[in-house]
Structure 1
């Protein structure tokens, strides 16, 4: 939530210039987050631990795939975006990430950013801004459901919230200034490292 607040303040320009995409992605993510949060009250998150590394690895691969945009801008150009099948697949992927985010959440932001990077006709700073704003909305929904159904460790919220607000505010500023290609590569490498760490924890501990 605090990451979304900080980045939202810092990304007003990007969000205003892509209102329709922001609203669409937010609605799909909210619907998914509600389902995922309710699912968590029925089944423990530990049931997801063995497949999470695969999801994160796939997100890293998608981010690398989006590098093609550097030489051939925007995979889904205006004419291509008219395809109902491609729109359905893109919206379904966003919805599924919303469900995952509400249920487990590890690296959900990387997954959503990877999907937006190859489906939106927008530069990376815009995709990042929409991802951060969407994360804020879905986390608000999730925390509301959690407070009614499970125990929340509120004493951890304050220090984490301060750090996440600072990171959320600084992040968009950095993304605007760093060249897109090396930034995508860094995000992919981070995703692969996280996938490896979680894979080790799920299968060897």
Structure 2
């Protein structure tokens, strides 16, 4: 398949938008995946190409969020190891199963995560109240407990398989179990989902189905967009941003559900 200069320019702009949305809301693929489909790629090829391209989002977000990542690496390392393992499993699932096998489940996952994200602070307060009544400090609040680890692995599997709104899933999880600012949690989310995406991208790179000119165009744009997004989220009010992300996730869930059941 040949991508002309005009399409590459549009994909570069789509990458900037994807990086901006991804770093702030975890919905990068809401922009980049449809752009790749509009360029004429089959869905599975677009999905694999998008997975490789989104490595730029992780790189740009990490560069832009260095202040928010300071002091988080001790708990981020085990989280990233878990999501990396999940991403590897998700990538293998995509290669070994029919392309539409997961489409019915995906909208429910995204919709549920969006609702959890919207209620995250309240759920966290309830959890802290339970812990206080028992006189203990929950491991989930300060690190990676068994429940968080299992959920993060499943998010990694999803990210390696399809990836759209994997950031919403991870942000919903971390917002519920970690007590810190949304900007710091969002920075951690970008790294955790990025490692899951990395291992899947490596797997897809050897399949011969990645359209490299398109992947590079989106990747370069996403580096710029995600860096800007990571800086921007530092100054945005947390509650309206969290609600906007949740509403965006619900909209994506509805769109994917309509597509899945229409097919």
Does the pair score TM above 0.5? yes
RMSD: 2.3
Instruction: Quote the Cα distance in structure 1 between the aligned partners of 2:139 and 2:79.
Output: 17
Match of 1:163 in 2: 221
Match of 1:106 among 140, 157, 164: 164
TM-score by length of 1: 0.89
- Give SS of 1:197's match: helix
- Give SS of 1:122's match: coil
Deviation at residue 161 of structure 1 after TM alignment: 1.2
Pair 1:81-2:135 in alignment: no
- Give SS of 2:138's match: helix
Match of 2:52 in 1: none
Q: Is the 8 A contact 2:107 2:254 kept in 1?
A: yes
Match of 2:262 in 1: 204
Pair 1:14-2:68 in alignment: yes
- Over 3 Å counting, the alpha-carbon distance change for 1:175 and 1:75 in structure 2 is farther
Question: C-alpha deviations, 1:141-161, integer Å up to 9, x for none?
Answer: 111111223511112112211
Pair 1:60-2:114 in alignment: yes
Q: Which runs of 4+ in 1 moved over 3 A?
A: 72-80
Instruction: Quote the Cα distance in structure 2 between the aligned partners of 1:69 and 1:177.
Output: 25
Q: Is the 8 A contact 2:117 2:242 kept in 1?
A: yes
Deviation at residue 183 of structure 1 after TM alignment: 0.7
Corresponding residue pairs, total: 202
Instruction: Quote the Cα distance in structure 2 between the aligned partners of 1:68 and 1:143.
Output: 36
Match of 2:154 in 1: 96
Question: C-alpha deviations, 1:101-147, integer Å up to 9, x for none?
Answer: 11121211110111011111221111111111123322221111112
Pair 1:49-2:49 in alignment: no
Match of 2:94 in 1: 40
Instruction: Quote the Cα distance in structure 2 between the aligned partners of 1:198 and 1:69.
Output: 27
Match of 1:176 among 197, 210, 234: 234
- Give SS of 2:179's match: coil
Instruction: Quote the Cα distance in structure 2 between the aligned partners of 1:74 and 1:182.
Output: 23
Deviation at residue 74 of structure 1 after TM alignment: 8.3
Question: C-alpha deviations, 1:72-99, integer Å up to 9, x for none?
Answer: 498597944237xx92111100010001
Q: Is the 8 A contact 2:170 2:193 kept in 1?
A: no
- Over 3 Å counting, the alpha-carbon distance change for 1:74 and 1:91 in structure 2 is same
